């Protein structure tokens, strides 16, 4: 994904446009892309916030926008919840399945 971002001149972003998603689909054969951001405040005890977008590269559209927060000690639970919610959003009828061909972007 990093090489493709350089080749396409894609900057750090929380989501991708239809044309960029089409390039990702063709070049990586990925069905979905997960993009987003996080905010970790400098104050101890303040929750960490994540904003995640699950996008369908073939259709060129956002399938889900997820926002969640957790204490630093609960990061693994936050990641697990986010993964489950993305899997539900990408599955027919909302039933999770093992995703194939997911390209992740970190902002």
- pLDDT digit string (tens) for 59-107? 999 998 999 999 988 989 998 898 888 888 777 655 444 545 445 554 4
Query: What per-residue confidence (pLDDT) applies to 92?
Result: 66
6-52 tens-digit pLDDT: 776 776 667 888 988 998 898 888 888 888 888 998 888 899 999 99
pLDDT at residue 1, as a whole number: 63
In this structure, which topology does domain 2-104 adopt according to CATH? Rossmann fold (3.40.50)
Q: Are 32 and 102 in contact (CB under 8 A)?
A: yes
* Phi/psi-derived region of residue 9, left when phi > 0, alpha when psi is between -120 and 50, beta in every other case: left
């Amino acid at each position: 994904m990093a090489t493709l971002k350089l080749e396409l001149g894609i900057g750090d972003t929380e989501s991708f446009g239809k044309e960029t998603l089409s390039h990702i689909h063709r070049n990586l054969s990925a069905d979905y892309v997960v993009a987003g951001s996080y905010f970790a405040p400098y104050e101890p005890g303040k929750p960490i916030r994540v904003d995640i977008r699950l996008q369908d590269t073939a259709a060129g559209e956002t399938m889900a926008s997820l926002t969640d927060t957790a204490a630093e000690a609960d990061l693994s639970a936050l990641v697990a919840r986010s993964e489950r919610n993305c899997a539900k959003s990408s599955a027919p009828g909302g039933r999770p399945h093992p995703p194939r061909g997911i390209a992740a972007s970190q902002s």
